[in-house]
Structure 1
């Protein structure tokens, strides 16, 4: 049985980053992968999504400017766009696999624990001084009669032609983003949300305004709506969805975007006593599981942080420093910005304005209507709003925005929040580019 300094289960962004640093440090590593090398983000997640968003965003912006200097709005050719997407991304899994073979040994197959520091892959056993679980997450599937006819986000991101009618189950990032893309390309989209809101965790005031903006583009969002049955239409033209409240409507394609769940079912964690829940593997302040020397990072870990690629890579960097550089501090729980690439985009960082509203003793809110600025007037953009949260020391501690460029805008505030900069510090030390950030906030943060 071959022994390694490190066995890394999973080759997604978190595992990839850690493997690269360990290999450069001269450590022996075994990478174990039973699925697509590189994981979700570069293959069927954030990378191809943002590639498609470039075209979608441009087309939707052109609609706002038609008749205001643009002769006509742009029209999306989805089939052509998808061919360019495939040309860029289809080779990535093999390229990532080749990179792992350069960094160390690779076992192609699903790994499972047989002893606390022994992994079995395809009947072969391997021992690791330290084992890192970075297996990520996979699409959740809602169960109902006819659920075999649904698709997941992986399918949509390789969809050659746009369905005439699309139904999407769920109100999270994937649902709202892919609904935006498909509708922009000409599909009539209906989004079924079982609760009272979409994008839970974002500022509710802005998610409500986002729904209003999407409805104006013929994206139908049905709250308190769950699928009861899905069956083929009698006339062969599409499918029939019946919801639990008795509503019936037609569709040609159903995307199940009801969420993602940690990849733990094949690991046999119970065999060695690694604790976990439906939210992922339990870890301590050093990302160590209940078994000494076994760690979990990325989407498979339960850290009560957003399940984002950037967070997983942050955890990987921390773990390398902790295990190889003697950094003994606990994982620092970074200031994490997050965005949904809808249209308009919605983004935020730090204290949610809803939390601040409920605690007026410690926080104050400032909301800015951005649409009056020359920049947003030139984009003909409505809604375009920004809310800032300050603590009692006048430090910026939260920001939320709804606009066509919300993700980039909120990125401007992340360093200020992470570093604890007060309004006075900002005025004294920072002169931002104008007209950009300064124009959007009317100079009120300075």
Structure 2
């Protein structure tokens, strides 16, 4: 059978774009459909604009600390949200242009339309066009989830927060994961009075317990009014703002409510089940280790599969798909060891097992360092960096590295190389420290704090 395309990709985010470009560069005929903007969640309304907001919000602390180092910063500084938003939007537009340019150079035919699966080898576009394809790759990402409660329509999500016309004076953030903690800190750093409510016992479920507690206290010390074990029951419009009722009985007035309560795969209405593709919890596409669905010609990568919802993982999955299907080199992505960063303030970086996970499997030695970094001393800031190494007692392999402090995201990338290579504690110890740095603590922890 002659097909219009060797590969048709549904979704122009990180995973889909990488797969489309690599396949086209290898000589495949590739089509790609994106219904919104090229670049997906990460570039348009996720990682990239969020990190720009992290940078912007961090200057408030830097200005406070500057006085301790002899700078007279005066009292006239204020954050100009419209000015920042204009520059942020210009940067996102520039990046989207680069995505389109790179796809075009590779020979990918782009369709600015919504695509649905008509059958195992055919897609239909909202423009009315229909194309056949030897292989279909679904890379449609996910969307923010809003809980069903009275007044939920008044709340924004991580999609809308980037498009605010003005910065609110007061905001309530609901949730305790990556997105909730990051935006609570961002808004706080921009001068917004922030309350954060999370129904769980502690923020960042799934991370190392000790690090979660340390970050929660650091966030509170920086001004985030964090309440765990508490959810909200309803939101009512009141004047120019809102009234929010909490499960602990309190009622709060606010100017904005942000739901950061999880994400769901964007699979509704794509025709996947009708084509025979099996979907799992919340509509996640079920795939094997090769990213192949229950229909042999249809594959899926990225957040639509709800495996590990991180941009670099989607990119790796897209590349592995091309290696497997087009290059004859079956390649599976290892999801077991992935470095992660939470760009709260301070940051949290982590790779490998938590202390709790490791000690459930084997005896471990735990090395901990907690200290005030040099820049905090003259600044008069009491915030402490917290670092932890989780080490297998039997073979001394470093099972996990966890860091809370400035630049933790940058540090964990480098530590991740060592952990991925299977480094032992003695390998860390043999590494000569770079002094004076925070990172030198990772190679100078001599005696375990505890064994478990």
How high is the TM-score relative to the length of structure 1? 0.91
Indicate the residue corresponding to 2:7 in structure 1: 6
CA distance in 1, matches of 2:92, 2:331: 38
Aligned to 1:282, the other structure's residue is in SS state coil
**Which of 327, 330, 333 matches 2:335?**
333
Indicate the residue corresponding to 1:34 in structure 2: 35
**Which of 249, 253, 271 matches 1:250?**
253
Is 2:425 the counterpart of 1:423? yes
CA distance in 1, matches of 2:365, 2:334: 26
Indicate the residue corresponding to 2:450 in structure 1: none
CA distance in 1, matches of 2:378, 2:424: 31
How far has the Cα of 1:284 moved from its partner? 0.8
Change in CA separation of 1:437 and 1:393 when aligned onto 2, cut-off 3 Å: farther
Aligned to 2:367, the other structure's residue is in SS state strand
Aligned to 2:444, the other structure's residue is in SS state coil
Aligned to 1:157, the other structure's residue is in SS state helix
CA distance in 1, matches of 2:17, 2:382: 39
CA distance in 1, matches of 2:90, 2:321: 35
**Which of 219, 224, 230 matches 1:214?**
219
CA distance in 1, matches of 2:171, 2:375: 35
CA distance in 2, matches of 1:232, 1:376: 42
Indicate the residue corresponding to 2:82 in structure 1: 79
Q: Is the 8 A contact 1:426 1:445 kept in 2?
A: no
Change in CA separation of 1:186 and 1:385 when aligned onto 2, cut-off 3 Å: same
Indicate the residue corresponding to 2:59 in structure 1: 58
CA distance in 1, matches of 2:286, 2:256: 37
CA distance in 2, matches of 1:218, 1:375: 20
Indicate the residue corresponding to 1:228 in structure 2: 233
Q: Is the 8 A contact 1:9 1:132 kept in 2?
A: yes
How far has the Cα of 1:404 moved from its partner? 1.5
Is 2:123 the counterpart of 1:119? yes
How far has the Cα of 1:330 moved from its partner? 3.4
Q: Is the 8 A contact 2:358 2:364 kept in 1?
A: yes
RMSD: 2.4
How far has the Cα of 1:374 moved from its partner? 4.5
How far has the Cα of 1:377 moved from its partner? 4.4
Aligned to 1:89, the other structure's residue is in SS state helix
**Which of 272, 275, 288 matches 1:272?**
275
**More deviation, 289-298/118-127:** 118-127
Indicate the residue corresponding to 2:398 in structure 1: 396
Aligned to 1:81, the other structure's residue is in SS state helix
CA distance in 2, matches of 1:208, 1:431: 31
How far has the Cα of 1:442 moved from its partner? 5.5
Q: Is the 8 A contact 1:86 1:158 kept in 2?
A: no
CA distance in 2, matches of 1:438, 1:229: 45
Aligned to 1:246, the other structure's residue is in SS state coil
CA distance in 2, matches of 1:357, 1:62: 42
CA distance in 1, matches of 2:299, 2:438: 40
CA distance in 1, matches of 2:68, 2:426: 43
Aligned to 1:267, the other structure's residue is in SS state coil
Q: Is the 8 A contact 2:273 2:279 kept in 1?
A: no
Q: Is the 8 A contact 1:15 1:134 kept in 2?
A: yes
Indicate the residue corresponding to 1:194 in structure 2: 199
How far has the Cα of 1:69 moved from its partner? 3.3
Change in CA separation of 1:388 and 1:121 when aligned onto 2, cut-off 3 Å: same
CA distance in 1, matches of 2:338, 2:376: 26
Aligned to 2:285, the other structure's residue is in SS state strand
How far has the Cα of 1:289 moved from its partner? 0.7
Correspondence list, 1:91-170, <5 A: 91-93=94-96, 96-97=99-100, 99-102=102-105, 103-122=107-126, 123-170=128-175
How high is the TM-score relative to the length of structure 2? 0.90
CA distance in 1, matches of 2:73, 2:57: 15
How far has the Cα of 1:382 moved from its partner? 1.9
Q: Which runs of 5+ in 2 are unaligned?
A: 448-452
How far has the Cα of 1:423 moved from its partner? 3.0
Q: Is the 8 A contact 1:153 1:256 kept in 2?
A: yes
User: What is the aligned length?
Assistant: 439
CA distance in 2, matches of 1:277, 1:66: 54
CA distance in 2, matches of 1:423, 1:229: 50
Indicate the residue corresponding to 1:15 in structure 2: 16
How far has the Cα of 1:334 moved from its partner? 5.8
How far has the Cα of 1:96 moved from its partner? 3.4
CA distance in 2, matches of 1:41, 1:128: 27
How far has the Cα of 1:192 moved from its partner? 1.7
Aligned to 1:299, the other structure's residue is in SS state helix
CA distance in 2, matches of 1:325, 1:346: 38
CA distance in 2, matches of 1:297, 1:309: 11
Q: Is the 8 A contact 1:110 1:266 kept in 2?
A: no
**More deviation, 56-65/267-276:** 56-65
